[in-house]
Structure 1
């Protein structure tokens, strides 16, 4: 039997066994979809999320995602893959009609490369990353790349740091904009040392950069930790949001494993008319085949908001 047919048959069989204990309503709601049964929003898994069903081969993992109704993929580490593998991934996705989500702009800003400092050496690293990101985006048909401006430069006033970040991002946008590539700025909750942490702060910076190639990546997990008020703050910042990422809190796992009411959040996003990608940037709450089935079931449940 061909490998991809084998994967599909095994996954369908294990799914049926895994859901045998659900009542009839739940079973109908969470039944595994055929390839043409998509979601209300465009959710994007990442490599490794379904490897127990699909195996280690990246193309087989993409095929499995497509068969489960997902129509996009995101890959933070895409810039570090070989050009040959990038092309294989892109060609396979094109055959399936799938969209490439974000990849992280390599060396685009971290604790050792803070754009808030206003130093030439940091700016040069960032701009070199932008140039290389353009080439990767062309290869994989990507429209978004994630940028984190790095840490605070605490010996400078906050407004000076903000001005330094805006100026650096303007320079980056000059490189990206002619190629239709958008850097999406991601406020994070990982450490209080990070310069970019809040959605209104990111909104202000995007307004300052004033480019279609500089927008917000609104990560629901990080912003639940940093500021809460998810729906109201998303609404305030909406015109600058180009990409959304998902993860429940606490734990950064699939919807339904934490405190966020994802049905309401997804309905808000849908009602706003969002047609972009919602990246599944989280781990699986449980290991193995059962954990992977639980992720798919969680998205079917959270997506049933209509």
Structure 2
């Protein structure tokens, strides 16, 4: 399932009256427990809309009650300023971390920076400056960037150099604020330039900036390369953010083939204290599915 598709996918029909009562009671027990997870998982808007309603602020409060201490929102830059400020204020009040939002200038899903053309570099610099405004409102420390598609008319080395050159333009813009652009290798389709963690590692090393690092999305890396834990170790010095999604299906841990308990334990052992974004859908519909998702995270987080 592509990123854009699963973010637009809603949950299915609700439960019966009896099931609703049971789910509500279960939610109360989960909330009353108040146990914070061992790792800092970040749900996204819509993940708990059946339990908390459509309002993103109510959803964030629900996330907090379930023990989550972070929130990520790919579309944050597209929200109006007032809503960004409300989200930022609520996260600060609750002591929650803001996870990634996407630095989106419209070129992320087409051939752009690989070409080396000035028009794309100019737009990239412009959107990087704009991202600082969003980051300040919500106190974000990380922002995702995808450098677009291959330019089929250029050798891969030239394309790589073009991307590195563009990212070097962004680095001095981001560094003073502390915002880290995390580059995400993806598996959505074979036209995307960044495909593997080790390729992204090479790009980050060449840019040589604390504000240009790797977003290691476990779902995408399972699909593209596998060998998850060894590749985490190989690229460790450049990994700043992690995202989650089981495979197949891109749903919560325990729904597919990936042993997330082992991966979470490994990250914990390595001292990872950053955010792990829950960039996936729900395996089951409605409130029942949302509670099942929380249960799956409790099970996978139980590694100590």
- TM-score, normalised with respect to structure 2: 0.91
Would the aligned equivalents of 1:72 and 1:101 in 2 still touch at CA under 8 Å?
Answer: yes
Residue equivalent to 2:66? 68
Deviation string, structure 1 residues 27-77 (Cα, Å, up to 9, x no partner): xxxx62547410110000001100111011111111000000000000000
Would the aligned equivalents of 1:34 and 1:69 in 2 still touch at CA under 8 Å?
Answer: no
Q: How many Å apart are 1:111 and its aligned residue?
A: 3.3
Residue equivalent to 1:119? 117
User: Structure 2: how far apart are the matches of 1:79 and 1:12?
Assistant: 38
Deviation string, structure 1 residues 206-255 (Cα, Å, up to 9, x no partner): 00000000000000000000000000000000010000000000000000
Would the aligned equivalents of 1:173 and 1:213 in 2 still touch at CA under 8 Å?
Answer: yes
Task: Give the alignment partner of residue 208 of structure 2, picking from 206, 210, 220.
Answer: 210
Task: Give the alignment partner of residue 167 of structure 1, picking from 131, 144, 165.
Answer: 165
User: Structure 1: how far apart are the matches of 2:159 and 2:274?
Assistant: 31
Residue equivalent to 2:7? none
User: Structure 2: how far apart are the matches of 1:11 and 1:102?
Assistant: 33
Would the aligned equivalents of 1:108 and 1:148 in 2 still touch at CA under 8 Å?
Answer: no
User: Structure 1: how far apart are the matches of 2:27 and 2:41?
Assistant: 23
Residue equivalent to 1:130? 128
Deviation string, structure 1 residues 74-126 (Cα, Å, up to 9, x no partner): 00000000000000001011110000000000116423352111001111111
- TM-score, normalised with respect to structure 1: 0.90
Residue 55, structure 1, aligned to residue 64, structure 2: no
Residue equivalent to 1:278? 276
Q: Which runs of 4+ in 1 moved over 6 A?
A: none
Q: Please provide the CA RMSD for this pair.
A: 1.8
Would the aligned equivalents of 1:108 and 1:130 in 2 still touch at CA under 8 Å?
Answer: no
Deviation string, structure 1 residues 179-198 (Cα, Å, up to 9, x no partner): 11110000000011000000
User: Structure 1: how far apart are the matches of 2:57 and 2:204?
Assistant: 36
Would the aligned equivalents of 1:108 and 1:126 in 2 still touch at CA under 8 Å?
Answer: no
Would the aligned equivalents of 1:101 and 1:142 in 2 still touch at CA under 8 Å?
Answer: yes
Which segments of 5 or more consecutive residues in structure 1 lack a partner in the other structure? 1-9, 20-30
Residue equivalent to 2:23? 14
Which segments of 5 or more consecutive residues in structure 2 lack a partner in the other structure? 1-18
Residue pairs, 1:24-173, within 5 angstroms: 32-34=30-32, 36-107=34-105, 109-173=107-171
Residue equivalent to 1:251? 249
User: Structure 2: how far apart are the matches of 1:71 and 1:35?
Assistant: 15
Deviation string, structure 1 residues 155-188 (Cα, Å, up to 9, x no partner): 1111111111001001011111111111000000
Are the structure 2 counterparts of residues 264 and 147 from structure 1 closer, same or farther at C-alpha, using a change threshold of 3 Å?
Answer: same
Residue equivalent to 1:261? 259
User: Structure 1: how far apart are the matches of 2:215 and 2:48?
Assistant: 24
Are the structure 2 counterparts of residues 228 and 63 from structure 1 closer, same or farther at C-alpha, using a change threshold of 3 Å?
Answer: same
Would the aligned equivalents of 1:44 and 1:71 in 2 still touch at CA under 8 Å?
Answer: yes
Q: Which is further off, 219-228 or 114-123? A: 114-123
SS at match of 1:304: coil
User: Structure 2: how far apart are the matches of 1:95 and 1:17?
Assistant: 26
Residue equivalent to 1:305? 303
